[in-house]
Structure 1
Amino acid sequence: MSVHIEEIRLNLPHIELAAHLYGPEDGQPVLALHGWLDNAMSFARLAPQLDGLRIVALDLAGHGHSGHRPPGANYPLWDYALDALLVAEQLGWQRFSLLGHSLGASVAMLLAAALPERVERLALIDGLLPLTHEPEQAPQQLGEALKAQLALPGKRKPVYASVERAVEARLHGGYPLSREAAELLASRGLMPQAGGYTWRSDPRLTLPSPLRMSRAHVEACVRALRCPVSLVLAEEGIPVRHPQSMALIEDLPITLHRLPGGHHLHLDDEAGASAVADCFKPLFAAP
């Protein structure tokens, strides 16, 4: 059965974002936020299995068909949160839910913590807590980021002779994912280039962050959540790096699901998408 997906553009005051739109006009409003270096195709298998939802799956700034930040800007999590909020404003959504994977899950958590009156539900996949640095690490982190910015003009994006070569590169970079998942992401993430294809994503996305929150900052945000939260952790996904982090998750009123599969379990195959959907359906069915 074919699934209707509408391509839309969202003109924010500072940037234009692209998105896929799923579901009925009167469905529950949900913003879907993908992971780092992914795009809206991240939800191509999952969104059609969540009946009754009006899902806007964004290409985050710097990803997919969305615009890039202006020269001199970076990609901090809080700017993604502002983008998501402005999208909700443009859509006329006073209250909405967030569906996030990896980086998108961290952005969703921060937005829900900061503005609990706006966010109804959080459905998170293999992500919740942003990467942190303690205060004493800040000078070194900033130094590395500044040097990387200086070196950026000398870097060139890789060019692949074919889409298949680009898919192979994606299969061997970062967290493992299925070939089908890599092909879906590449279908939206690649653009023609002299000599072949290259990624649409902004090269600045691969630079080190000038600043990260401390563990105390992140804990304060997670404890500020007031909406129902359903979190799917993949057994072969991103490891929870600190025992304190897992203890924090288990100490909070978060519905926790552990499923077999890797970091992209919601995209790797239909079975994984179905399992994730089954975890989230009770969340969205609740009054």
Structure 2
Amino acid sequence: MNQGRNGRDLTLDVNGNHFALRTWGKESGRPVLALHGWLDNAASFELIAPELRNCFVVAPDLAGHGRSDHRRADSGYYLWEHADDMNALVECLGWKRFSVLGHSMGTGVASILAAMNRNIEHMVFIDGMGAPFTVDDGNTVEHLRKAQRLLRLALRTRLHGFSGPEEAQFNSLEMAINERRNSIDGSLSAEGARLLAMRDLLNLGHGYRWRHDPRLVLPEPLQLTERQACEFLQHITCPLQLMLGRQGLFAGSAFDKRKHALPPDTRVHWHDGGHHFHLDNPTTTLIEQLNVALATSDSGPQQRIVNQ
């Protein structure tokens, strides 16, 4: 087990923005950049990061998430912007070679980061297979129109989250945790929801509200097409391992839709559980697979295996 089990909170200015980081392990360990999913934050790795042997894990709250700065009103939260932030963050950390551990949307950020930075040794995706939100070819214009309509509607009507910063969204902590637990696929455990919520809540005294930018709940006007998302996956050149939940968002038809785009030496492992199985029930099997994946030599191609 890693020494320094308890995580540490740091801050770093990257690309002119303030980023909150959560770190585990000794700085002399193998560098691992951990990228969380949509509406999550660095607490997504709170249970597994301390178990990564001889690793120095850095998990940033992506822009607009958790305790990191929101982007300006004239900017957005595109995957390629997150990837550019992470490329600059790695440079600020002085990492020459590093690995990436991504969950959900974080795997989409990682797939683009891999195109920007060829110094990635290993990539491990947890219930994710690249960009989670895409548009079909030919639907870009209509998608942009819809996204703009939704944004104007949210601002005009002050929808949930778009109210003033002094207005509470929840009367109690438990109300906020329950909302977080029921988002996405509704399978998040109470402990997992509490970890994520506590890093993303502001106590106003008379109630609570989310720290994250409410614009995150709206679709970005220009999303990757499915073909573009697959192209980024296909061009990953470092060893890639997927840890997928049998009841997760990338089982069944979602996996079949993307599996053709996986690099030929990808290893795929299936685990019981939903989209956040790494936070709900980090089994010893998962931990051992992660340790093997992050410690494997780059000396040759890996045989592709699919355990389902």
Q: 2-side partners of 1:22 and 1:243: how far apart? A: 35
Which residue of the partner structure matches residue 256 of structure 2?
243
Whether the 8 Å contact between 1:109 and 1:122 is mirrored in structure 2 is no
SS of the aligned residue for 1:80 comes to: helix
Whether the 8 Å contact between 1:159 and 1:193 is mirrored in structure 2 is no
Q: 2-side partners of 1:243 and 1:53: how far apart? A: 33
SS of the aligned residue for 1:143 comes to: helix
Q: 2-side partners of 1:21 and 1:277: how far apart? A: 18
Give unpaired runs (5+ residues) of structure 2.
162-167, 298-308
Q: 1:7 aligns with which of 6, 9, 23?
A: 9
Which residue of the partner structure matches residue 280 of structure 2?
268
Once the two structures are TM-superposed, the CA of residue 242 in structure 1 deviates from its matched residue by 6.6
Whether the 8 Å contact between 1:132 and 1:215 is mirrored in structure 2 is yes
Which residue of the partner structure matches residue 210 of structure 2?
199
Q: 2-side partners of 1:273 and 1:88: how far apart? A: 29
Q: 2-side partners of 1:23 and 1:194: how far apart? A: 35
Whether the 8 Å contact between 1:123 and 1:230 is mirrored in structure 2 is yes
AA at the equivalent of 1:123 = V
Whether the 8 Å contact between 1:4 and 1:22 is mirrored in structure 2 is yes
Whether the 8 Å contact between 2:37 and 2:105 is mirrored in structure 1 is yes
Which residue of the partner structure matches residue 243 of structure 2?
232
Cα separation, partners in 2 of 1:2 and 1:56, compared to 1, 3 Å: closer
**Higher mean Cα deviation, 154-163 or 119-128?**
154-163
% same residue: 36
Which residue of the partner structure matches residue 174 of structure 2?
164
TM-score (norm 1): 0.93
Query: Number of paired residues?
Result: 283
Which residue of the partner structure matches residue 122 of structure 2?
121
SS of the aligned residue for 2:242 comes to: strand
- Residue 185, structure 1, aligned to residue 196, structure 2: yes
Cα separation, partners in 2 of 1:115 and 1:72, compared to 1, 3 Å: closer
Deviations 1:8-34 (A, max 9, x none): 001113211001111112111111010
- Residue 208, structure 1, aligned to residue 208, structure 2: no
Which residue of the partner structure matches residue 32 of structure 1?
34
AA at the equivalent of 2:261 = L
AA at the equivalent of 1:170 = R
Once the two structures are TM-superposed, the CA of residue 38 in structure 1 deviates from its matched residue by 0.7
Which residue of the partner structure matches residue 81 of structure 2?
79
- Residue 221, structure 1, aligned to residue 223, structure 2: no
Which residue of the partner structure matches residue 97 of structure 1?
99
Once the two structures are TM-superposed, the CA of residue 162 in structure 1 deviates from its matched residue by 1.0
AA at the equivalent of 1:256 = V
Whether the 8 Å contact between 1:46 and 1:274 is mirrored in structure 2 is no
Cα separation, partners in 2 of 1:25 and 1:2, compared to 1, 3 Å: closer
AA at the equivalent of 2:216 = L
Deviations 1:183-211 (A, max 9, x none): 11111111113631111110010111212
Which residue of the partner structure matches residue 137 of structure 1?
139
Whether the 8 Å contact between 2:239 and 2:266 is mirrored in structure 1 is yes
Which residue of the partner structure matches residue 53 of structure 2?
51
Give unpaired runs (5+ residues) of structure 1.
none
Once the two structures are TM-superposed, the CA of residue 172 in structure 1 deviates from its matched residue by 1.9
SS of the aligned residue for 2:113 comes to: helix
- Residue 277, structure 1, aligned to residue 282, structure 2: no
Which residue of the partner structure matches residue 62 of structure 1?
64
AA at the equivalent of 2:275 = H
Which residue of the partner structure matches residue 305 of structure 2?
none
Once the two structures are TM-superposed, the CA of residue 84 in structure 1 deviates from its matched residue by 0.7
Q: 2-side partners of 1:284 and 1:170: how far apart? A: 30
SS of the aligned residue for 1:262 comes to: coil
Deviations 1:80-124 (A, max 9, x none): 001111110110012211110000111112211x13522111011
